[in-house]
Amino acid sequence: MKSVFSRRAVLGSLSVLGLGLLTGCDSNKPSFKYAKDLSNTIMGRSFKLKDPQGETRMLTNYRGVVVMIFFGFTQCPAVCPTALARAVKIKKLMGRDGDRLQVIFITLDPERDTPKVLDAYVKAFDPSFQALYGTLEQTAATAKEFGVFYEKIPSGDTYTLSHTATSYVYDSLGRLRLSLSASLTAQECAEDLLTVMEVRS
Question: Domain limits of the chain?
Answer: 7-198
Q: What integer pLDDT is reported at residue 16 of this predicted model?
A: 40
3-state helix, strand, coil in the chain (%, to 5): 35, 20, 40
CATH architecture of 7-198: 3-Layer(aba) Sandwich (3.40)
Q: Which residues pair with 67 in a beta bridge?
A: 102, 170
Q: Which residues pair with 168 in a beta bridge?
A: 69, 179
The sign one gets for the Cα dihedral 68, 31, 201, 44 is negative
CA distance 192 to 34: 7
Q: What integer pLDDT is reported at residue 6 of this predicted model?
A: 54
- Of the candidates 50, 66, 42, 186, the residue with the CA atom closest to the CA atom of residue 113: 50
Q: What integer pLDDT is reported at residue 4 of this predicted model?
A: 55
Coil, strand, or helix at residue 191? helix
CA distance 88 to 53: 23
Whether 56 contacts 48, CB under 8 Å: yes
Q: What integer pLDDT is reported at residue 29 of this predicted model?
A: 66
**Portion of the chain with pLDDT greater than 90, in percent:** 81
Coil, strand, or helix at residue 92? helix
CA distance 102 to 128: 7
Helices 186-198 and 79-93, packing angle to 10 deg: 60
Question: Which residues in the chain come in under a pLDDT of 50?
Answer: 1-2, 8, 10-27
Q: What integer pLDDT is reported at residue 30 of this predicted model?
A: 73
Q: What integer pLDDT is reported at residue 5 of this predicted model?
A: 52
Q: What stretch of H or E contains 49?
A: strand 49-50
Q: Enumerate residues 6+ apart whose C-beta is below 8 A from 27.
A: 21
